[in-house]
Structures are given as C-alpha cells and as structure tokens.
Structure 1
C-alpha cells in the first residue's frame, strides 16, 4: 500500500510541473524567453518577421497544450492502484526522460543560443527520470523484503 501512495505523490508532483510549464508556455512564452535567455537572445528566438513570429507562437502554444494534456494524464494516472501498471508506467517515464536528455545532448546543445539552457533542461530531465527510478527501487525493495 505504501508504494501506491509514493506513486501518487510522484505523479502529482510531475503533473504539477507539467501543468504549470504548459500553462506558462501557452500564455507567457515571450516573458519566459526574456527571463531565461535575456532580451537579445529572446528577440532571436521569437523570430524576425511577422510570419515567423506567428509560426513560433503557434508552435509554442501547441507545445504548451501538449504539456498541459500530459499533466492532466499524469493527474489521472496518479490514482491507479495496480502495482504492475505503476511499475510499467514508471519504466516508461524513465525511458521517456532518458530519451529527452539524449535528444537535448545531441541536438539542442549544438545550437549556440540554447547551449546553456539545454544543459539545464538535460539536468532537469535526468532528475525527473531519477525520481521514477527511486520509485522502482522502492517498490522492488518493498516486493522482495
């Protein structure tokens, strides 16, 4: 029973992160770019022509909406009590975060303007993946003790 509550807490924390990030991406992307990268790089990232700016804002909004939907999915999954499903879901989340970290290392780090941000996001992906790994170790210990 303890493994189930740990799973719920991890899912709810990840859900809160995804919901917040998705909402900010949809509605405050210009401010986030300015805060995270500075004014000079933010103007580069937002595009130079009105058409580019519209495409970038639309893309950011859809990315934020997808992240928001993932947050809602995590919120719903938090209340599933099947231990086999929890283990399967945690393994999938670890794999997803590892794939994101690798993608950031190989592709995003090559972009000059995003190199520092890519490093921070890679560390974030690693830490989120490790949280699922801790859950798997916890239920493994609980299962075999």
Structure 2
C-alpha cells in the first residue's frame, strides 16, 4: 500500500477540524516571550507565555542582565500562562540579589508561589507601578 499524501491533512486533524494537539489540550501552546525596558530607573522584564526547562533561557538571560545593570528589577509576570519549578527556581535565585520585585503575577504564578510558600519571601506587588515605587 502506498502512502497517500492527500490523506495527510485528514490524519493531522480530527472531526472538529482543529489540529490534533490543539484539540487534545483545548488551546494552542503559547511560546514564551520576554521584553525588557527601563522605567523610572528600574529595569522591567515583561514575561509572557509558558516557562519550563525548555523555555526559561531567554527569561534567565534577561533577568541576569537586568540585575547586573540596574539597582531595581521588576518582573512583570502578568502574562505568564504556565510556570514550573524551573521558573520558581530562577525567581528565587534572582530574588537573592536583593533587587527583584514581582509585579502583577498571573493566577498561575500566584498559585505556584502560594503552594510553595514563596509568596512570603518574594516582594510581590499588584502592579508594575507599585513595584517601581517600592
């Protein structure tokens, strides 16, 4: 039996017409993205998307650079849709520099911090403006 290339699209989609991975999870996987900018003398690192062992690199690099060049670093975590122990370890490591404030954490980040007890250790603020002012 030869491979029928016209059948390939049918194999990659289900009856709903959505690609199989999207149908299985109910949503497409979000890639992580990091944006850095300066505000009132602080370096703001805006993180969005999913963070795990495979995607933490750009965020780690941005936070490391920010702590080396600025007296105050704000991690805007409002756009973080998934975070695991790799993300948490990075945040704790950067917190040890004494420069980090976490601003507007998403519900998933709040839950991760609460479950692990890190919310009592980190400087968490409701907004980026509050974090800059603190």
TM-score, normalised by the number of residues in structure 1:
0.27
Q: From the two aligned structures, give the one with the greater strand fraction.
A: 2
Q: From the two aligned structures, give the one with the greater helix fraction.
A: 1
Greater relative contact order (Cα < 8 A, sep 6+):
1
- Bigger-Rg structure (1/2): 2
